[in-house]
Structure formats: structure tokens, C-alpha cells
Amino acid sequence: MARPLAGVRVLDLTNVLAGPFCCHQLAHLGAEVIKVEAPGRGDLARQLGMDEALSERLMGISFLAPNPGKRSVTLNLKAAAGKDLLKRLVEGADVLVENFRPGVMDRLGLGPEVLRGVNPALIYCAISGFGQDGPLRDRPAYDQIIQGMAGAMAITGDAGAAPLRAGWPVADTVGGLTAAMAVCAALNAERRGAFIDVSMLDSLLATMGWAVSNLLVGGVAPVPAGNENLTSAPSAAYACADGPLNIAANKQEQWEALARHLGLQALLDDPRFRTRADRKAHRTALNATIEAVLRTRPAAEWEAELNALGVPAGRVLSVREALDQPQFRQRDQIAEYELDGGRRVEVLRTGVKMDGAALTVEDGPPELGADTAAILGELGLNGDDIADLRAKGVV
């Protein structure tokens, strides 16, 4: 398997999701990721998730998902000895990622200027809710806060249900992906040493390009459209005999094939539905007519038949159904690991295949501080040194 970031060392000082998800990508691309955590408690995500037993042992499900393949070292960054050890780690690192609120690392005496003084080639990536400048820079931010302030919730759902948050932490994951992309680009620079400032708010808005451009360029404010695609018709989720089916007949030939297959060829001569613009203007009547036919049979039958005709269609699945479908299973995007104590867990990989193989990491998510002795040993500390640091609460 290709490992394009082999030989790159990343210090992961992040918590919960945006930062860990960034470093999750880097680890799967081959980087050595050292997760630097507070002694005794570590990443807050270690206490989160829908399995209390795992959370109590600081291996919460929320931690397991974005942290396979990393090594864990505990350092008290408020202690002088902890700061010194981080600087020694920085000397041999290529990248440092943190998602503290702006100014926290500076107050610790470990800001980007200090650490790049230790290692001028260090790529320092700071992920925050609102960025390192601006009037909101000091505000705390969580995923739902960003979804709301980016306008994403305002256009999610239909007119009767909006605003709605997405069903997963989209702002955190988009922020993490944005940061990982920027880090990879900075690693390719002729001269390393970039300071990367990633705002979750900026990152999420950047993914809303079509909706935002319709406002900025066309003067048309986006509105919640539910399961409708406002750029085309018929393109929506339709009720079938046993559940919903998404159909995206965005091209003229797809619309014509759909109408004929449903026995609605008379609509092709109806002036309300001749062009894309006509169909958009009369989408309510068109969708009701289509749905009346689709309700007569199961979604899976329509899905197979329409795709065979070149009309894009897909059932609306539960998460369990999505994971179990043969298409996803064949792509090898679920990894299984055994935790200390023998419990086996499954987590997702990154969704990427390279040279025909899914990106993988060999080791599962680390127990808190599992690699502290080994990593400090690599810095030249002996057993007595490490025992003394433990006694003082530095590690």
C-alpha cells in the first residue's frame, strides 16, 4: 500500500473531533502521529460515546473513531518540565496540530513563534471555531454552533422544519479535512515552516459554494428545500410502497426515460414539463404525479429498473443498511481492532483507496499514555527519569 506521508512526524495536541479527524487522515496517509494528552484525563472524547463502560476506562467510542494508528504520550503542558519535553519533541517533528482556543498556546509559552524558533521548519496548524483573528476569535465553538452561524441549519430541512442541524458533526469533520489538506500542501512546499489557520466557520461556508454563490452572484437567497433539488426537476425523494427513493433525472434524456418507464409519456407533451425551467416551475404537480406511480411498488425494484435505463436512483437507507450494502463492504472501509482486555471494535477508515488498497493503519486507538515511556526513551530519558516525571505529575 502506498504511504505518501511515510517519514513525516506529526504532534497531535488536539481534542474531540476537528483536530483528531485531521490527524486521522494524516495517520492513514502514512505519517507517524504522536497524540500529546493531559495526564489522567487525556482527550475529552475518551469520555464520550454511547458505551458507558468504554467511557469509564477512557476509551470512549467518540475517541475510538478518529484515533487509530496514533501513539499516546501524556504531558502536563502547564509544568515547566512538560513544556521542555514538548519542545524536545518539536525538534524532531514536521507538523504540530492543535485546536485550542486562540491564544491558549501563547499563554502556555508554546505558541507558533516559540515552537518554530525551536524548529524553523515546523508546520504549525491551528484549528479553531472562528480563526485566529476577527471579533469572535475568543468564543468557544462546538459543531452545532458553527452549523448555525454558517447558515447551514437555516437551509437544512423543509420550510416547516428548518432550521435543522445535520445528523452528524459536519462542521468538525469539514474543518478537520480542510486542515489535513492544508498540512499536506504545506509539507510539499519548497521551504517548510507554514503557520496554518483553519476556521471551522470559514471551512463550512466554503463547502456551501453553490448556495452562497446564488446569493452573491445571482441575488437569490438560499431557502430550505427539504428533499428537493432546486436546480432541477424531477429530482427529489419520492415515497414508494415500502420507503423513499431518491431520483435525480437532471438531464432531459433522463426525464424522458423516467416518464416513459412510469407510463407517463403524455407528460412529455405537456407544456408545463417540456424544459428544465418548466419542470422546476411546476415541480409540485410533477412530483405528485410521479409519486402516485412509484407508490405502487417497492423502492428496490424501481431503483434497479431506473438505473438500468440510465436514470440515477437510490434508496434512502438507514446507517445500518448503508454499512451492510455489498458495494460498501467490498471497498474495505471498516477496520477491526482489539483493545486491551480483548474487546474487539470496528471503526471506519478514511474513504480513500490508493493504488487499489484502502488506506489503513496497523494499530488501534491507543490507551491513554500507552507510549509515554517509549517516546520519552527516544528522547534519551531513562526509567528513573520517567518515574520521577510521573511522581511530579508531569507525565
Specify the amino acid at residue 253: E
Percentage of the chain beyond pLDDT 70 is 100
Q: Above 80 in pLDDT, residue 1?
A: no
Nearest C-alpha neighbor of 150 from the set 134, 128, 168, 165: 165
- Per the listing, cell 494508528 goes with 69
Distance CA(165)–CA(88), nearest Å, equals 42
pLDDT at 45 over 90: yes
Strands 313-315, 32-37: parallel, antiparallel or unpaired by DSSP?
A: unpaired
Contacts of 132 (CB under 8 A, 6+ apart): 102, 126, 197
Residue 219 has phi, psi (to 5 degrees) of 75, 15
Residue pair 334/347 in contact (Cβ under 8 Å)? The answer is yes
Structure pTM?
0.94
Cβ atoms of residues 191 and 162 within 8 Å? no
- For residue 37, the tally of other CB atoms under 10 A from its CB is 23
CB 369 within 8 Å of CB 377: no
Cell of 260: 416513459
Structural domain boundaries in the chain: 9-207+332-391, 235-316
Instruction: Identify the band that residue 226 occupies on the pLDDT scale cut at 50, 70 and 90.
Output: very high
In the chain, what percentage of residues exceed pLDDT 90?
Answer: 98
- pLDDT above 90 (res 101): yes
Give CA–CA dist 192/29, Å, rounded. Answer: 19
Q: Where are the alpha helices (DSSP H) in the chain?
A: 18-28, 52-56, 61-64, 80-91, 104-107, 112-118, 143-149, 170-187, 200-206, 209-216, 252-261, 276-281, 283-294, 299-308, 319-324, 326-330, 372-378, 383-391
Summarize the confidence of residues 239-267 as an average pLDDT: 97
Please name the CATH architecture into which domain 235-316 falls: 2-Layer Sandwich (3.30)
Higher pLDDT: 2 or 255? It is: 255
Q: How many CB atoms lie within 10 A of CB 383?
A: 10
Architecture in CATH for domain 9-207+332-391: 3-Layer(aba) Sandwich (3.40)
Q: Is the pLDDT of residue 71 over 90?
A: yes
Residue 382 scores a pLDDT above 80: yes
Report the C-alpha gap between 196 and 124 in whole angstroms: 6
Mean pLDDT of the region 41-58 = 96
Q: What count of Cα atoms within 13 Å lies in the side-chain half-sphere of residue 117? A: 6
Beta pairing partners, 246: 237, 314
Q: What is the DSSP letter of 367?
A: P
Catalytic residue, from 172, 197, 324, 384: name it: 172
- State how far the alpha carbon of 371 is from the alpha carbons of 27, 95, 219, 309, 389, in Å: 16, 19, 55, 56, 15
Give catalytic status of residue 172 as yes or no.
yes
The string of pLDDT tens digits covering residues 19-36 is 999 999 999 999 999 999
Mean pLDDT of the chain: 96
pLDDT digits (tens, 9 = 90+) for 128-185: 999 999 999 999 999 999 999 999 999 999 999 999 999 999 999 999 999 999 999 9
d(CA 269, CA 318): 38
Q: Using CA atoms, how far apart are residues 181 and 97, in angstroms rounded to an integer? A: 13
pLDDT band at 2 (very low <50, low <70, confident <90, very high): confident
Dist. CA 112–CA 280, nearest whole Å: 52
The whole-number average pLDDT for the span 43-48 is: 97
